[in-house]
A and B are shown apart, each in its own frame.
Chain A
Amino acid sequence: MDTAYLIETIIKVVVILLIFSALAGIGTYFERKILAFMQRRLGPMYVGPYGLLQVAADGVKLFTKEDIVPTNVVAPIFKIAPVITAATAFMAAAAIPFFPQFTIFGYTVHPIVADVNIGILYILGMMAVGLYGPMLGGMASANKFSLLSAARTAAVFISYEVVSGLAILAPIMMVGSLSLVDFNNYQVGGISHWIVWSQPVAFILFWISAFAETGRTPFHLIANDHEIIDGFGTEYSGMRWGLFFIGEYANMFFISFVIPLIFLGGFGDGSFLGAMGLLAKVAFFFFFFLWTRAAWPDVRPDQLMWLCWKVLMPIAVINVVITGFVMMF
């Protein structure tokens, strides 16, 4: 392991951390603005031009707010729970190729921290570990709403993971590899080579389970404001709550990278245009998260479990079987 590699990796880690922590903040601005426009409001307007500096104001608020650890909570678990959510979100990012490789000052950079050959499994696994954050926070909080939220987290977890795993299995069978770089290279021939055309069912299923994974609106039952206050976040204040927040938004961005990489051609042939195309796809999927939040009601936990186990899982299994038969003959 030479020094250049070590320095390169550290730089990549720092860059990803900085960019996506900042994006998490800017993501909230986009979310407020888009929700506001869809509900015929203006959204944040007062801080800075078009409310752009609202992000900075929120940041200052989160950092300077008093950090309260209530009595009766299980303090060590209560303190570590937000860190789990934020840290696992960024750990999952280690196996995502954000851009095609490019050359800068004669030095070839691979914009992926660790090109492990089981990338997609690692990403799904790490994102699943991220759900321990809400769960532990909810159980340690000594608050009935938080406990309800923890129970719902367990329900969401055991429901969506089967669907996302089985949905992703069919594309994996076609590509014959678990690395996201190989997924991208498989679809390098242009729009007609995208996996979404041969695996439309898997694409929809994975997209649905992405909503459950990030806890976004149709499946926002873990922290549903109008039922259980803020769920696991009820007892949190200041930056501890902010870490949950960064984790959630970073997860949204990372899953928005993963879906195009698997199904929609990723960064294509690695040209500048392809990289911009990937960014456009990511922006669309992130926008879709917000669009759904404005347009759809939430489902109940039992409806989510019914949907995942009785509808989506059989469809995913049938999809895998059909893919197998088509590939065999």
Chain B
Amino acid sequence: MFEAVAFYLFAFLTITMFIITVTTSQALYALTALAAGMIFISAFFFILGADFLGAIQIIVYTGAVMALYAFGMMFFDTTRSVKEKQGNKFIITGLSTLAAVLVVLIVAAPMVSDNIVAFYPAIDSMGNTQNVGLVLFTKYLVPFELAAVMLLVAMVAGIVLAGKKMDRSITLTNDAELEIEKNKKVLS
């Protein structure tokens, strides 16, 4: 009974949060609702007994959305609403509804026809952390390592792009030097 109550409560909350994210024109509302929705999703993992994935969902998405906030802070005045350029509303609504229905059909079709079999069923004697580790480092080792390499590439690229003047601290340079550099830039 408690599971059912929790499921419907969090389903309602998650969907509401994502609707706010999509429909609002206020950057701060959108980001906050996105963060809340992502954290509410972790409730489904907890209900299903996948505690490890639930905790990971919380940790990963708080960090990810926090980075989005940083961008939001840079690009918008977050206390004002953003003027959005809107195209043909019927096309947007139609396409998104179609896409949503398609996704539900694709996921639900095998469930309805009972065609789902777990290749590596969870082993009851182990905790779910060990279960995740087991499939991750046997069956899915190659995708896992590929993802790791891609992240490494992204990190190196990020450092190269952003780290040109990393050793120089503007706070520690005195104002006279900064002024000279500014003038140089204007002249050149």
Contacts and interface: CB of A to CB of B under 8 A. Distances in A.
A204 interface: no
Interface in B54-113: 54-56, 58-59, 62-63, 66-67, 69-70, 73, 78-79
Interface in A68-95: 72-74, 76-77, 80
A140 B73 CA distance: 11
A125 B59 contact: yes
Nearest to B63: A161
B62 A118 contact: no
Interface stretch (B25-33, B114-122, B144-152): B25-33
Contacts of B29: 74, 76-77
A140 B28 contact: yes
A132 B63 contact: no
B41 interface: no
Contacts of A210: none
Contacts of A77: 28-29, 32
Contact of A128 (B51, B63, B128, B169): B63
A147 B171 CA distance: 19
B59 A139 contact: no
- Interface size class of chain B, counting residues whose CB lies under 8 Å from the partner chain: 20 to 34
B43 interface: no
Interface residues of A, number: 36
A125 B66 contact: no
A117 B53 CA distance: 12
Q: Is the interface of A mostly helix, strand, loop or mixed?
A: helix
A122 interface: yes
B44 interface: no
A245 B59 CA distance: 24
Nearest to A306: B169
B39 A129 contact: yes
A300 B78 CA distance: 25
A121 B79 CA distance: 34
B59 A128 contact: yes
A136 B62 contact: no
A121 B55 contact: yes
Given A118-B52, A150-B73, A158 B171 contact: no
B63 A157 contact: yes
A302 B169 contact: yes
B129 interface: yes
B158 to A, nearest CB: 12
A62 interface: no
A124 interface: yes
A73 B78 CA distance: 10
A125 B78 CA distance: 26
A112 interface: no
Given A77-B28, A132-B66, A154-B70, 6 more contacts: A73-B79, A74-B26, A74-B79, A118-B51, A158-B63, A158-B66
Instruction: Kindly list the 9 A-B residue pairs having the minimum CB-CB distance in the complex, ordered from nearest.
Output: A125-B58, A121-B55, A125-B59, A154-B70, A118-B51, A142-B79, A122-B55, A118-B55, A139-B78
12 contacts: A74-B78, A117-B51, A117-B127, A117-B129, A129-B58, A129-B62, A132-B35, A135-B69, A139-B69, A139-B73, A140-B28, A150-B73
